[in-house]
Amino acid sequence: MLRRYALFTALFFIAQISGASLVVWLDNNPVGIAPAFFIEKIQHSIRALTIALPALAATGLMATVVSTFLERRERVRFNLLVAASLCALTGAVLTAVGNVPLNERILTWSSASPPANWPELVATWRQFHLARTLLTTGSLVLLILAVLCSERRPSRARRN
């Protein structure tokens, strides 16, 4: 039963972070938006999500790693969960080394006078964010496959 709870928890939290990442990537697109509005919008997004999204990602990663350990005897599930864990971990590392430093810079910008290179910095931020979105979505797909993967259990006839 613990295996099912761990897998459910992993799936639930990775699904949350995957969906949230996609929405953030779609919503924080500067095309067709006035620079001042975009900067205020992305700064608000950073402030609003700085605690929630890392908490979801960390919980999802931990639950995926626990599920991986618990499924170590089920070879196919184990391999899928190792891959899911690696995707989630890589997404978290990309966030820490890519998006977080850029978030800190973006929070210092003035919407009245953004830095001259703000479009390039936002493009870099979006590239990091797209990569982590794809990684967390990949993790979600692998988790779903692990859930759908049937366990090898002896039939009733063989158990008797």
Domain annotation covers residue 157: no
pTM: 0.88
Q: Which domain holds residue 90?
A: 2-150
pLDDT one-digit tens code per residue, 15-65: 999 999 999 999 999 999 999 999 999 999 999 999 999 999 999 999 999
Nearest to 53 by CA among 5, 77, 21: 21
pLDDT of residue 24: 95
Domain annotation covers residue 160: no
Overall number of domains in the chain: 1
Domain annotation covers residue 22: yes
Domain annotation covers residue 126: yes
Domain annotation covers residue 159: no
CA atoms within 13 A on the CB side of 61: 16
Kindly report which listed range (98-102, 121-125, 153-157) carries the lowest average pLDDT score: 153-157
For residue 150, what is the DSSP state?
A: P
**pLDDT of 155 above 60:** no
d(Cα 120, Cα 123) in Å, to the nearest integer?
A: 5
pLDDT one-digit tens code per residue, 115-130: 999 999 999 999 999 9
